[in-house]
Structure 1
Amino acid sequence: MSDNIAELSVKVNVVDIAETIRGLKAIQREAKKATQALRDLEAAQNERGLTYEQRLEAAGSIDLRDNHRIVTHANGFQSIVPIDPTKLFKATRKEVSE
């Protein structure tokens, strides 16, 4: 066997690492704030007793069910585009039997 010992020298710029960690922590803080805001929004909507479909209708959302086409862009991304943008979402109404 060979008695050669490999040597590895690494130079690390501590300032760059510290700045990177600070940046990642800032992103994490913003993600936590956004997650909490989403939870608060969902809780507020649920308090009003609206279903998901009712919230879509109330927001005036376009109904994409059987009303969409997929557009492929030159960069490889795809978009879902409504065929009729005036077709709005209507929540299905379930009648309560008495």
Structure 2
Amino acid sequence: MNIGQGKAGVSGAELLFNIADAYEVSGRFEETVDYYLKVPAQHPDQVVWVVKAYLRVAKIFEDRKDWEGAAVTYQKIIQLKTEESKYAQERLDWIKKR
């Protein structure tokens, strides 16, 4: 399912993010990660939402002690070269020192 621009001006990326957020609140983490990862897969040009989605995925991986998953996700943020890249690098460095 590829979601485009909604009638209310909500982007497809934002809609996918909100669906993922709802899954996260309900504790359905597999669906949460799946929907967050649909954001960069379907809307790579929506960098703000891509970074937000990756940050959430990385946090979920950290909370579940999936250090490899978190590291890979932080690396993706770093490659985007946004303001959040510095934070992602700090988290990646911390994971590597564990």
Pick the TM interval, shorter chain.
Answer: under 0.3
Of Structure 1 and Structure 2, the greater strand share is in: 1
Q: Which has the higher contact order (CA 8 A, sep 6+)?
A: 1
